[in-house]
Structure 1
Amino acid sequence: MKKSSSILVNKNTITSIAIGGFDGMHGAHQKLFEQLDENGAILSIESGYANLTPKRYRQEYSKYPIYYYVLDNIKHLEGNAFIKLLNEEYPNLQKIVVGFDFCFGKGRKYCVKQLKELFHGEVVVLDEVKIDDIAVHSRIIRNYLKDGDIKTANILLTKEYKIYGKQIKGQGLGSTNFVPTINLYVEEFLLPNEGVYVTKTILNDTEYDSVTFLGHRVTTDGSYAIETHIFDKNIVNKDYSIQIKFFDKLRDNAKFDSFEELKEQIFRDIDEAKEYFK
């Protein structure tokens, strides 16, 4: 999916807002957004720790405009001052939607009870969302990604986990000794743990089946790399906008005794990934 630009809306028209951190724009977040009316908006409180779906990538996952507030700029406010700020920013605000564990203001001492007392409008509070008996929280999704459990992370995200990167020059071994790969430099995004993954690689707006390696190249130069191989194509280096969508993990990173053993394993990885997409 193409990354959307921010939606510009006159704040005077906004009648409902969802407030939260919204890193990941995951399944529980989407439940919050379902409670917004047609003139809704999303207020994302930025703590600086978002790495599942960093700030500028979130608009892709919602039809509602997203407004960003830096936590350090508002965390000193008492509860009534926070509500006053919302009413000034959105003068026709009638509804606020939050999660069950929402807290705000100085020392996070104001929570759902105080929100209902202070805001003279409708307050909708969603219970904890579970999928397959797993509570859906960004911190839990991060743990699954760090463990390489892409399938569970995707279930909680209700979409494939995706990163954006820039193409960089690799070792040059792929096209000559192994298979051609695109090497990526990735900032901002949390990377799954080291290993080989079934993926789709998006170059500009075109999506290809692929297999992707993340980790230290322990058999060759030992450096950390993100390398993706697109099946049956030799993509010439260009200034692509690159996205990687993760579907499943094939294996952990491993050291091989020879280039030949590594090459044989790479071909097995490719065959297994192709079978996945069949």
Structure 2
Amino acid sequence: MDKKDIKSLAIGAFDGMHLGHQALFKKLDKNGAILVIDKNSAVITPGNYRCEYTDKPCFFYDLNDIKDLDDKGFIKKLKKDFVNLEKIVVGYDFAFGKDRKYSIKNLKEVFDGEVEVVDEVKVDGISVHSRVIKEFIKDGDIKKANRLLGHTFKIVGEVIKGAGLGKKELVPTINLKVEKFILPKDGVYATITDVNGFYEPSVTFIGHKKSVDNSFSIETHVIGKDIQKAEGEVTILFFEKIRDNKKFENLKDLKEQILKDIEIAKEIVKEHTI
């Protein structure tokens, strides 16, 4: 859909594309689109990955390009880019412009079309807000984060070469370099990992390898498989934390724990994928 065809816009940072954001998207008409104000920092759902959670076209403004605009300047830019814009949809806490000094009131004053404000969304009495979901993720409470997201939290990383210790002494893993996604608290998680186009049950470790060299690592073991060749991007979906990161006296004890983690992960993943 071309910008000239857009008649309604949902505007926001849309970090997470969570249930609160989905409530805004439902207010768009058939010629509606999503305008993401992208902060280009580590977020729940960065960049174009947001587009996977909607059937509406997504457009992006870099925050640095618009952060110093006043209310009139912001609307002028919108009207220039979306010449047939008739309706703006925002959340109840929307603010914009330099130092976020402009409010919904200002938006209604300067925009000559309709402004629809969507109320706060709650799940189990908890406000569905990106800030809240981030805290759950950082605390390792993936189950609560997923409830508020309305989908499964994921990270995407580039395959990098590991030390090879896992395959020799423990279990084979795929090592990842992850950028722009926020990371869960250090620990071991029940996950599924997409390698070469297929999602497989997995156990994922994030943190400093206390029992080895204390280097930071993000690595995933695809249960029951020794992936000989993984390259490019790998996606990991997180279901639940199994345990905290801890130091073991030797590799034998670590391997015994990993095998226990694998059995726990199998049961957790089974609950989510049946």
1:225 aligns with 2:217: yes
1:81 aligns with 2:69: no
How far does residue 77 in structure 1 lie from its aligned partner after superposition?
A: 2.1
Partner of 1:202: 194
Aligned to 2:84, what secondary structure does the other structure show?
Answer: coil
Unaligned runs of 5+ in 2: none
User: How many residues get paired?
Assistant: 270
CA contact (8 A) 1:184 1:226 kept: yes
User: C-alpha distance in 2, partners of 1:238/1:224?
Assistant: 20
**TM-score, length-scaled by structure 2:** 0.94
How far does residue 110 in structure 1 lie from its aligned partner after superposition?
A: 2.2
Deviations 1:83-137 (A, max 9, x none): 1221121111111000011112344332112212221221110111111111111
CA contact (8 A) 2:69 2:97 kept: yes
How far does residue 50 in structure 1 lie from its aligned partner after superposition?
A: 4.5
Percent sequence identity is 54
**TM-score, length-scaled by structure 1:** 0.93
How far does residue 170 in structure 1 lie from its aligned partner after superposition?
A: 1.4
Aligned to 2:23, what secondary structure does the other structure show?
Answer: helix
CA contact (8 A) 2:7 2:86 kept: yes
CA contact (8 A) 1:79 1:106 kept: no
The one-letter amino acid of 2:105's match is K
Alignment of 1:1-278 (within 5 A): 9-278=1-270
User: C-alpha distance in 1, partners of 2:184/2:177?
Assistant: 14
Q: CA RMSD in A?
A: 1.3
User: C-alpha distance in 2, partners of 1:81/1:183?
Assistant: 46
Structure 1 residues 104-113 or 231-240, which shifts more?
Answer: 104-113
Unaligned runs of 5+ in 1: 1-8
The list of structure 1 runs, each at least 4 consecutive aligned residues, that deviate by more than 3 angstroms after superposition, is none
